[in-house]
Amino acid sequence: MAKQPNLYAFGDIDRLAKSLRKYLLQCQSTGFERHNTFKVAVSGGSLPKTLAKALLAPSDKNGSLDFSKWEIFFADERAVPLDHEDSNYKLLKDELLDKIPADLGKPVVHPIDVQYMDDVQEMADQYQDVIMKSFAAKDSVKLPIFDLLLLGCGPDGQACSWLPGKELLRESDAWVAPIEDSPKPPAKRITLTLPVVTHGAKIAFVATGDGKRDILRQILDTEEGRSLPCGLVNEGGADRVSWFTDTAAVEGVSFPRRGSL
């Protein structure tokens, strides 16, 4: 049987955050062993809040975090100033970055370059350069391997800023692509492309609440769901993909759940 994503369902967000922390610590260790850094890409939406719950909890027996060796990229970002309410950078900064205790170190964070705000193609190219510099030249590395990509799942099956059925999902060359017409505002964005995401060492989705129930049923239990953006990540990432959900989000989903990490 083909390798499947891992589906975890927790009674509430606190329990989810506890397991997510354990998972993050495991991914951090693998990254440190691999290249003495932890390279992670993060999306926006409701994810940063849950992520902060997981990362700002006190150290436990599962280990501690060393943010001084973290490099944080954005899996997708909106073309707005970094202090704008719609900015994924601002969201992550407010929820997490500003609250990291000094003794855990400071991560290197890669926000978009806002001087290219009016030209999202330029902005995407420039962000690709930033990734290239971190992962070595694009010509010598066909695709970067992020240690972890942390993603949300939109109510329409959106992952990153990919819209269901759009040409962008077939992009096979660029690492970062522009979007001019996102129906979820703001319209202008940049996003990592599907091959970059499915090439990640680990990929985690966080999806909670009953608002995600119908789309999770579709993504995980139906044939059509496989061609939705989140379904394509499941397909390409197989057992490197993990879904952190709560019971409200997976009620009625028959896809097999894993007991624990």
Contacting positions for ligand 6PG (CB under 6 A): 43-47, 76, 78, 88, 152-154, 158-161, 184
Give least dist CB 30 to ligand 6PG, A: 24
Give least dist CB 134 to ligand 6PG, A: 20
Give least dist CB 139 to ligand 6PG, A: 29
Nearer Cβ to ligand 6PG (154/231): 154
**DSSP structure string for 17-78:** HHHHHHHHHHHHHHHHHHHSSEEEEE--TTHHHHHHHHHSSPPBTTB---GGGEEEEESEEE
Peptide bond into 101 cis (omega under 30): no
Give least dist CB 170 to ligand 6PG, A: 18
**What is the maximum span of the chain, computed from C-alpha positions, in angstroms?**
49
Report in angstroms the alpha-carbon separations of 31 from 4, 131, 161: 23, 16, 26
Give least dist CB 59 to ligand 6PG, A: 27
Rounded-to-integer distance, Cα 221 and Cα 45, Å: 24
Amino acid identity, position 41: A
Interhelix angle 88-95/47-55, rounded to 10 degrees, is 30
Residue 131 · residue 40 · CB < 8 Å: no
Nearer Cβ to ligand 6PG (80/105): 80
Among candidate residues 226, 172, 233, 161, the one with its CA nearest the CA of residue 202: 233
H-helix or E-strand containing 226? none
Nearer Cβ to ligand 6PG (138/235): 235
Mapped onto helix, strand or coil, the DSSP state of residue 202 is: coil
Nearer Cβ to ligand 6PG (27/216): 216
Give least dist CB 69 to ligand 6PG, A: 24
Nearer Cβ to ligand 6PG (46/198): 46
